[in-house]
Amino acid sequence: MQAERILHPLRRFLEHRHLPAFLAIVGLTITLAALGTGLLNDDLCHRAELTGPSRANERLSDVGLPPNRSGDLSEVVSDLFIAVRPDYNLEKLKAYGALPWWTYDHLRVSFWRPISAFTHWLDYRLFPNSVILMHAHNLLWFAAAIFLVAILYRRLMVCSWVAGLASLLYLLDDSSYFPAMWIANRNIFLSLFFGILTLLAHHRWRQHHSVSAAIVAPLCLLGSLLSAEAGVATFAYLFAYAVALDRGSRLRRAISLAPAILLIVLWRIIYSALGHGAYGGNFYLDPAREPLRYAWAVITRGPVLLMGQWSCIPADIFNFIPDSAKAQYLPIIIVFVVLVLIVLLPLVCKDRLARLWLIGMYLSVVPVCATVPMSRNLLFVAIGAFGLMAQFIGGLVTRQDWLPVSRLWRGAAWTLCILLLIVHLPMAAIVRISTPIMTSFLVKNVQSTMEIGSPKGFEDQDLVVVNAPNPSAFIYMPFLRAYEGQPLPRAIRVLAPGFGPLEIIRSDDNDVVLRARGGNLLAFQEQNSQDSIDFAYFYRSVSDVRGARHPLKLGDRAELPRMSVEVIAVDGSGVPTEVLFKFAASLEDGSLRWLQWDWEKGRYVPFKVPAVGQAVQISGPF
- In tens, the pLDDT along 606-616 reads 999 999 999 99
Q: Which of 417, 443, 469 finishes a domain?
A: 443
pLDDT tens, position by position, 77-136: 999 999 999 988 899 999 999 999 999 999 999 999 999 999 999 999 999 999 999 999
Strand (E) or helix (H) holding 278: strand 277-279
pLDDT tens column, 311-332? 989 999 998 888 888 888 999 9
Q: Report, as an integer, the average pLDDT of 461-470.
A: 94
Q: Are 243 and 214 in the same domain?
A: yes
Q: Reply yes or no on whether the pLDDT at 3 is more than 50.
A: no
What are the strands of the beta sheet with 82-84, ordered from one edge? Answer: 82-84, 108-110, 277-279
Residue 204 lies in a domain: yes
d(CA 100, CA 492): 9
CB 497 within 8 A of CB 521: yes
What is the rounded average pLDDT of the residues 518-526? 79
Q: Is the pLDDT of residue 4 over 80?
A: no
- State whether 325 and 354 are in the same domain: yes
Q: Which residue has the higher pLDDT, 260 or 291?
A: 260
Q: Are residues 425 and 457 in the same domain?
A: no
Cα-flanking dihedrals φ and ψ of residue 371, to 5°? Answer: -135, 175
Task: State the average pLDDT over residues 30-46.
Answer: 91
414 in the same domain as 280: yes
Confidence (pLDDT) at 6 = 58
Is the pLDDT higher at 312 or at 528? 312
Q: Is the pLDDT at 1 greater than 90, yes or no?
A: no
Q: How far is the C-alpha of 546 from the C-alpha of 62, rounded, in Å?
A: 28
For residue 458, give the DSSP letter.
Answer: G
Together in a domain, 148 and 129? yes
260 and 152 in a single domain? The answer is: yes
User: Is 352 in a helix, a strand, or coil?
Assistant: helix
Residue 231 lies in a domain: yes
Tell me: pLDDT of 301 over 50: yes
pLDDT value at 422 more than 50: yes
Which range, of 179-183, 291-295, 440-444, 555-559, averages the lowest pLDDT? 440-444
Final residue in a domain of this structure, among 426, 443, 460? 443
Sign of CA dihedral 122, 173, 472, 89: negative
What is residue 542's predicted lDDT score, i.e. its pLDDT? 84
Distances (CA, A) of 531 to 313, 331, 524, 538: 16, 16, 14, 14
Is 132 within 8 Å of 35 (Cβ atoms)? Answer: yes
Percent of the residues in the chain that have a pLDDT greater than 90, as a whole number: 67
355 against 442, higher pLDDT: 355
For residues 539-555, average pLDDT:
86
CA distance 85 to 71: 20
10 vs 68 pLDDT, higher one: 10
pLDDT at 68: 65
Residue 52's pLDDT band (boundaries 50, 70, 90)?
confident
Tens digits of per-residue pLDDT, 152-179? Answer: 999 999 899 999 999 999 999 988 899 9
Render pLDDT for 567-604 as a digit per residue (tens, 0 to 9): 999 988 888 999 999 999 999 999 999 999 999 999 99
| Same-domain status, 226 and 260 | yes
- pLDDT at position 7: 63
pLDDT of the residue at 290: 85
74 within domain boundaries? no
For residue 330, give its domain range. 9-38+123-443
Out of 443, 470, 485, a domain closes at 443
Q: Average pLDDT of the chain?
A: 91
Q: Is residue 370 domain-shared with residue 281, that is, in the same domain?
A: yes
**CA–CA dist 138, 434 (Å, integer):** 20
407 shares a domain with 521: no
Same domain, yes or no, for 397 and 473?
Answer: no
- How much is the pLDDT for 527? 55
- Span 177-196, mean pLDDT? 95
pLDDT at 529 > cutoff 70: no
Averaged pLDDT, 186-200: 97
Contacting residues for 572 by C-beta, under 8 A, at least 6 apart? none
**Position 478 pLDDT exceeds 80:** yes
| pLDDT given for residue 404 in this prediction | 87
**Same domain for 537 and 388:** no
Q: Tell me, yes or no, whether 93 lies in a domain.
A: no
Residues 187 and 332 in one domain: yes
Does residue 100 belong to any structural domain of this protein? no
Structure confidence at residue 338 as a pLDDT band (50, 70, 90): very high
Q: For residue 390, what are the contacts with CB-CB under 8 A and spacing of at least 6?
A: 153, 157, 162, 163, 165, 166, 169
- Give all strands of the β-sheet with 502-506 in edge-to-edge order: 557-560, 563-570, 576-583, 511-516, 502-506, 615-618
Number of domains the chain contains: 2
Q: Which of 12, 81, 78 is nearest to 43 (CA)?
A: 81
Spatial distance between the Cα atoms of 290 and 6, rounded to a whole number of angstroms: 54
pLDDT at 56: 77
Rounded CA separation 381/363 (Å): 8
Residue 108 lies in a domain: no
Residue 112 lies in a domain: no
DSSP string of 58-98, one letter each residue: HHHHHTT-PPTTTT-HHHHHHHTTEEE-TTTTHHHHHHHTS
Answer yes or no: is 366 within a domain.
yes
